Every structure is written in C-alpha cells, then in structure tokens.
Amino acid sequence: MTLDIITSDNLAPCRHGFFTRRGGASSGVFEGLNCGTGSTDQHEAVAINRARVAQALGVEAPDLMGVYQVHSADVVTVTAPLTERPKADALVTRTPGIALSVLSADCQPVLFADHKARVIGAAHAGWKGALGGVLEATLEAMEALGATRENIHAVIGPCISQRAYEVGPEFFEDFIAEDPAFARFFVNGANGKFLFDLPALGLYRLRTAGVGAAEWTRHCTYSDPARFFSYRRATHNKDADYGRMMAAITLNSHDDTPGL
C-alpha cells in the first residue's frame, strides 16, 4: 500500500512529511505504519515501517534520527548520525542528509524550517512539553545554528483536537495557575469537565515566540481511526497497546528539490 503523507507548502522545499498509519507492515492494533520502537509490535515490522519512511524522505534508514521522548523541553543538536537515542523531545540540525523525526499518537508533532539559513527542527509537544517550553527551546537551538526566528516556519501535524480532549477540573486549574490567560484553551464539557485545545496552545506559544509562520494541519488523530493512531482512543477501547506515527524532515542537497 502507498504511504499516506501530509505535507505543508510552508516546509517545502525541505523533504518532509507527517506520516499517517496507512501503508505499513504492522498488524493487529498496530495495523499500518507503526514506527514506535517502544511499542510491543514486532521489531521486524517496525523496522520495515521506519525504512519506508526513510526511503520516502530520500535518506538511508540509519540517517533517520529520533530521540527517547520523555515529555521534556530538552533539545538535541544533531551534527552526525546518532549512535543512541538520547532522552529529549526535539532535534535540530543544519546537516544535509540527516532526517529528524518525532513520534506521536495524539501529542503534537511539530516540524520547523528556516529555508534561508538552511536549519530544520522537529519537536514532540504534548501538553506537558508545550507548557514546559519545548517549542521555544527548539527555536533557541535553531537560532544557535544560525536561524532567524522570523524566518522560521513551524507546522503542527495531526494531533488530538479540542472536541476529543476531555480533561478534569484539576487539569484546568493547573493551567490557570500557570497563567490565567490559558483559560482561552478550554471550553466547558459535560459533568463538570472541560475540553482542552492542544493545537491552539501550540500555535499560541509559537506565535508569541515570534516565528515567521505557524499553522496546524487541522487533522484530529482521535476522530479518524482509519488514518491515525490515537493513545486516547486506544485507552477508551481498552486496547493492549497503540501505534505511533512519525513526522520527519530533512534538508535537501539543493534548494530547488521539491518536497514530498
């Protein structure tokens, strides 16, 4: 099956993609393109899936870089292929031929590009990482490589939308304690609960930080089981585990090479 890849004009000409679950070798609850090495899926199937992503990006499988995601604000600057996965939630590089990747299954996968400086980044931003500053930390790491904030384009890929993200009053109160203005990301739900707008928080943090452009692809992972994995949906279904989707970006050798 052909891979299903969501792209953005704001990230072209960098080769990039928010890969959906379609087109993979996994089966069962992982059916499709599960790229999560931390899942209980068969290792061979995950390796095949990751190799398909690398091929689509035009890089070798060992050059597809990722981190051991821990919902932090830590960023890794990549100058050569990593020999192990450091604990972090974002990566940046200005080295062509290296693809940066993050995994998600409701959290925000965010890809960054400064086309003029030829610096790229990728971040995994759930509510904890976004609140903790992982997006701003990624921008700072890109600037350290020569990027200019107003030239950086950032795109949030498929993630859980507000209509599917029900949270309790304690969650709401923790956010308001951080900043009363964060009330804008909540609406009242049923039975005293709230609905939380994760991508709106991501866009707010990016725009407040001064990026040149920020957008969300407007795909909800929870609401489309045929296309996306979702941790929350798997939990509601009492599934034993869940698949992870990959978002990745790489610099081309030449600026005029089209994106995926």
Query: Could you state, in order of their start, the residue ranges of all structural domains in the chain?
Result: 5-161+197-250
Question: What average pLDDT does the structure give for the chain?
Answer: 95
- HEC states along 52-72? HHHHHHCCCHHHEECCECCCC
Cα–Cα distance, 92 to 81 (Å, whole number): 12
In the CATH scheme, what is the code of domain 5-161+197-250? 3.60.140.10
Do 3 and 19 meet the contact criterion of CB atoms below 8 Å apart? yes
Structure tokens at 57: 């990006």
- HEC states along 83-144? CCCCECCEEEECCCCCEEEEEECCCEEEEEEECCCCEEEEEEECHHHHHHCHHHHHHHHHHH
pLDDT band at 252 (very low <50, low <70, confident <90, very high): confident
Closest CA to 154 of 6, 7, 5, 10: 10
| Residues forming beta bridges with residue 153, ordered by sequence position | 113, 213
Whether the pTM exceeds 0.85: the reply is: yes
List CB contacts of 106: < 8 A, sequence separation 6 or more: 126, 159, 160, 221, 222, 230, 231, 232
| Residues forming beta bridges with residue 92, ordered by sequence position | 77, 121
Query: What number of other Cβ atoms are within 10 A of residue 168's Cβ?
Result: 12
45-102 tens-digit pLDDT: 999 999 999 999 999 999 999 999 999 999 999 999 998 999 999 999 999 999 999 9
Do 162 and 189 meet the contact criterion of CB atoms below 8 Å apart? no
Q: What's the whole-number mean pLDDT along residues 14-37? A: 97
